Amino acid sequence: MTFHEKLRRLFMSATVCGLTTATVSAQGDLDPPAAPGPSMKSLQEIYDRIDVLEDRQDTLLYMMASHMDLPWQFTVASDTSNDGEYASLAFGPDGLPAVAHYNSSSDDLRLSRFEGSMWTTETIDDDGVTGLHSSLAFAPNGQPAIAYYYAGAGNLKFARFNGSTWDIETVDDNGTAGRYSSLVFAPNGQPAIAYQGGTNLRFAQLNGTSWDITSVAGGGEYSSLAFGPDGHPAVAHRELIAFGLPSEYALRFSRYDGSTWETVTVDDGFSMGPYASLAFGPDGRPAIAYADFISDAVRLARFDGANWNVETMDSGAGVGHYTSLAFGPDGQPAVAYGMANEGVRFVRPTGSGWVQQTVHEQIGGVNHISLAFAPNGQPAIAWYLNNNALGFLHRGLFLP
């Protein structure tokens, strides 16, 4: 970005947002005919100062944006029949959203991307019944990658865009691997995937040439992977404890300490822990959003350094389907989830509790919800519409 572009961006942003920013000034011309005098600012000094002001301004704008009462905008990202199941939303380095999803009519893996003015959708893999449990992430080089389940053979697959075409490979081919896949790029830039293999939680990470696969713990349902500030992986997942009507489950948290995996129970009970969604807060501690279907509640468990503290964010008949957790630019957790016969809900904390907002009304089931924050600090949600299409919501007047 040139000096003049940075200067224009700085002052336009301040004008649009009604902010007062520091005034950048210099004595004499910006390009003086000779070396600057003792009291003059050089062009490089002005440029460096604008960099500092931009960083401060962006932080302030993001903080303000997360609390602004802006409207939610709805669009259909793909209206192809039965597009949108297993929706997984992520923002690329260009600041634009993309959603990986499954089409249950064609049994294909699909990717929808916003191109700046419109949504486009392409088929990534059409080999048999494939694309279920899709999980999207962007690699350090800015290219998208997707982990997903190939139901035709019971395998975990991985697709990665190389700049012109998609490279597709099988990660785990044991015949029972790939459900509940969760893809994240590790701090070393290599892809890592948590998933269910048989009745166990498995973890696969690319070592540069091949995939190292570990059986971590029992369970593996609703696996959700994240890397902690120590650079080690952690997974939230659910395990069946006792079969019955209803069955008893435990919400587990498994974390690698550099040499071994340790698994602890976060919460347990009848129908406990579906749709577990893990994220690390700015304090470096893990949090998990999940559903409690016996109590008809959405819960949030946060680790305080010694114990897991559980609180209820919302309750009511049919609440908590497909919970998705993300931390906003203000450092506070946000959760999107479905409310039966009502629609998509979004909940954020206040000083004294939680505020719930129905952001899209929808009669019938709300399925496969995925929440992410855009680079402009505003939340966005993708999900499978009950009229068999891919829906997309974002808060604000326009996308970045």
Tens-place pLDDT, residues 91-106: 999 999 999 999 999 9
Could you tell me which residue, 12 or 114, shows the higher pLDDT? 114
Q: What is the pLDDT of residue 53?
A: 53
Q: What is the pLDDT of residue 171?
A: 98
Q: What is the pLDDT of residue 245?
A: 82
Structure tokens at 2: 């040139």
Cα separation, 400 vs 390, in Å, equals: 20
- State the DSSP H helix or E strand holding residue 50, giving kind and residue range, or none if neither: helix 43-65
Q: Per-residue b/e over 54-68, b at no fewer than 16 CB within 10 Å?
A: beebeeebbeebbee
Structure tokens at 333: 């957790």
Instruction: Name the CA dihedral angle for 165, 130, 341, 327, rounded to a multiple of 10 degrees.
Output: -50
Q: What is the pLDDT of residue 4?
A: 43
Q: What is the pLDDT of residue 345?
A: 95
Q: What is the pLDDT of residue 366?
A: 82
How large is the average pLDDT for residues 268-287? 96
Cα separation, 253 vs 288, in Å, equals: 9
Q: What is the pLDDT of residue 18?
A: 38
Q: What is the pLDDT of residue 27?
A: 40
Could you tell me which residue, 204 or 2, shows the higher pLDDT? 204
Q: Give pTM, 2 decimals.
A: 0.84
Hey, is 66 helix, strand or coil? Answer: coil
Q: What is the pLDDT of residue 59?
A: 45
pLDDT-based confidence at residue 362 (cuts at 50, 70, 90): confident
* CB count in 10 Å sphere of residue 240: 13
pLDDT-based confidence at residue 169 (cuts at 50, 70, 90): very high
The structure tokens 């494939």 sit at 130
How confident is the model over 298-323, as pLDDT tens digits?
A: 999 999 999 999 999 999 988 999 99
Task: State how far the alpha carbon of 105 is from the alpha carbons of 102, 128, 130, in Å.
Answer: 9, 12, 11
How confident is the model over 124-167, as pLDDT tens digits?
A: 999 999 999 999 999 999 999 999 999 999 999 999 999 999 99
The values of phi and psi at residue 95, to 5°, are: 85, 5
CA angle 166, 167, 172 (to 5 degrees): 130
